[in-house]
Chain A
């Protein structure tokens, strides 16, 4: 790794720390920085309502955004490399559609069959949703993994993944048709994505899971680098293509499944951040790209979370809208500037 890379990486790390602090500082209720410090260190005598806002709302949200952003970005990078397709992302194999399908089953069927709107169930309902999402996405992933061992071409696999996505969307459509309006609304809100759904112990579980899984995904660095060369060359260099494909899909799939389970289907980050990382670091080496993507993903998610809670919006903006609205121009401009440099060379 070149020194400029390390230097840039440290800068992004610094940015993340600043963004974390801003996430704690800014919000609909204004709390002075001194008080936030006191609350975090457990000193001073701050109002209980402020303590609750920091401990139960702002901090969990910020940590969730950070972990979710990092996870989706890394998952997106892995998908783009394994499919050698710049348009691939965490959602490309229908894994997040699988999660949506699981959630749709729970939300929509509980209303129609059980006669209870899930929205009234509170925390239990949230846990049920997470479990359903994980079951849905992991079963789609299992299907994809099975297919990946049967078909040779990456493009075939990609198309089958997209088809599975369509099928799950169709199933969701049918479910919606038979559901009561209240439940459909709950499902749509879930689909908008949110970093604030997770709280308390669940947040701790989510962040811990990501803290374990993200380092694990780094074990695939050599494999991913070899995959850049294409199947033929990678194989000749001793890589077992089928096994490699399985490992990368499982790694990316599990990351996506867990993030989607806790935050809903968050689009865009996973697709865009790897491009941002490549443009900033001018490399394809995953030794640099993996940490860069992870850090940039976390930073971008924190920015989006911050914007979604800007005074005036009061947390009303759905994460999915913010990620695309903010992220798309940023990524497009970075790529566009890089293009110009390419031409100037």
Chain B
């Protein structure tokens, strides 16, 4: 079941510098976020992703428009109420020494604890449940400062879960992580979206991961503001293609993912098929050599056999690895495009 939990109407965000001065970062934002859908915010550095997240979590005031959270404007909530509606995972690293993971996750219960902040038995139950949900039972008694960045990020997600809020905002949760950890965090969030009724909204720079895993994408851009949709719709409408246009990245419409743009200078033919063939194509592309299918007699070509690569340029010569083949290609002059 998914329903609309956040609605932005004509929202403009930014910083008010003096009383009548404001530096607008983005304006006329019109969008909704639904529960049960993983929503990813993409955009270049400095475009205002963090500002948007900070505004949505009421850390800083909006400049205009409306933010509706669960049917009420965000300003109508008190700080205390908000702490039970929104939980956050921030980019600021929690430099905390001598605190166990379980205690840190327990801090997520603060909005519910009394004056002294002591956790009751039910609170600890929720803490342990959150730890299980994120899959960090083995870390529970470890000190936070001994954890890796990826583990720490999971702890902060567990903290957000312990806060028992319907909405979770994450500001670049996959930054600074190694690739497997990035994937792990994204899959974890996806699992949470499916097993709980939560609304999860995160900003990220990991385009490919976001395009593969997210249900909804928000593209944030200085010129066009925010465009939302499923990754596939955005691909079909050409939005993804134009999003990074002219920045050394091209959008591969077959895979629906971005890849690095290459300037081709030479061309060559290939005969053969299978994995060896596609790897060879990839290597040639990287070297700026375009692979053509047209078998023109004048063009040199490479024949891919199960155990060698045979270069037909003048005398045929065989190479065992792509590395040695590339070396040989550098020695001869390939026809330019």
Q: Which residues of A contact B (CB under 8 A)?
A: 84, 219, 221-222, 225-226, 228-230, 232-233, 235-240, 278, 282-285, 287, 345
Secondary structure type dominating chain A contacts: loop
Contact sample, A vs B, 25 pairs, CB 8 Å cutoff: A219-B115, A221-B116, A225-B107, A226-B107, A226-B110, A226-B117, A228-B96, A229-B96, A230-B92, A232-B59, A232-B88, A233-B92, A233-B159, A235-B79, A236-B87, A236-B88, A237-B111, A238-B79, A238-B84, A240-B79, A283-B98, A284-B97, A285-B99, A287-B117, A287-B118
Of the candidates A221, A228, A233, A239, which one forms a contact with B88 in the assembled complex, judged by CB atoms under 8 Å apart? A233
A221-B99 contact, Cβ under 8 Å, with A232-B92, A236-B87: no
Q: Does B80 contact A (CB under 8 A)?
A: yes
Secondary structure type dominating chain B contacts: loop
Q: Does B95 contact A (CB under 8 A)?
A: yes
Interface residues on B, range: 20 to 34
Of the candidates B80, B115, B118, which one forms a contact with A238 in the assembled complex, judged by CB atoms under 8 Å apart? B80
**CA A282 to CA B144, docked complex, whole Å:** 12
Within 8 A of A (CB), among B79-128: 79-80, 82-84, 86-88, 90, 92, 94-99, 103-104, 107-108, 110-111, 113, 115-118
Q: Does B146 contact A (CB under 8 A)?
A: yes
A345-B146 contact, Cβ under 8 Å, with A237-B107, A238-B82: yes
CB contacts (< 8 Å) of A284 on chain B: these are 96-99
**CA A282 to CA B98, docked complex, whole Å:** 6
Give the A-B pair count, Cβ closer than 8 A: 73
CB contacts (< 8 Å) of B174 on chain A: these are none
CB contacts (< 8 Å) of B115 on chain A: these are 219, 222
Task: Establish whether residues A229 and B59, one from each chain, have CB atoms under 8 Å apart when the complex forms.
Answer: no
Q: Does B57 contact A (CB under 8 A)?
A: yes
Q: Does B55 contact A (CB under 8 A)?
A: no
Task: Establish whether residues B107 and A278, one from each chain, have CB atoms under 8 Å apart when the complex forms.
Answer: no
CB contacts (< 8 Å) of A232 on chain B: these are 59, 88, 90, 92
Interface flags, B174-192, vs A, CB<8A=1, else 0: 0000000000000000000
A238-B59 contact, Cβ under 8 Å, with A84-B95, A229-B96: no
CB distance from B69 to the nearest CB of A (A): 14
Q: Does B12 contact A (CB under 8 A)?
A: no
Q: Does B163 contact A (CB under 8 A)?
A: yes
Q: Which residue of B lies closest to A228 (CB)?
A: B96
Interface flags, B133-145, vs A, CB<8A=1, else 0: 0000000000000
Task: Establish whether residues B96 and A237, one from each chain, have CB atoms under 8 Å apart when the complex forms.
Answer: no
Q: Which of A232, A239, A283 has the most C-beta atoms of chain B within 10 angstroms of its own C-beta?
A: A232
**CA A278 to CA B97, docked complex, whole Å:** 9
CB contacts (< 8 Å) of B87 on chain A: these are 236
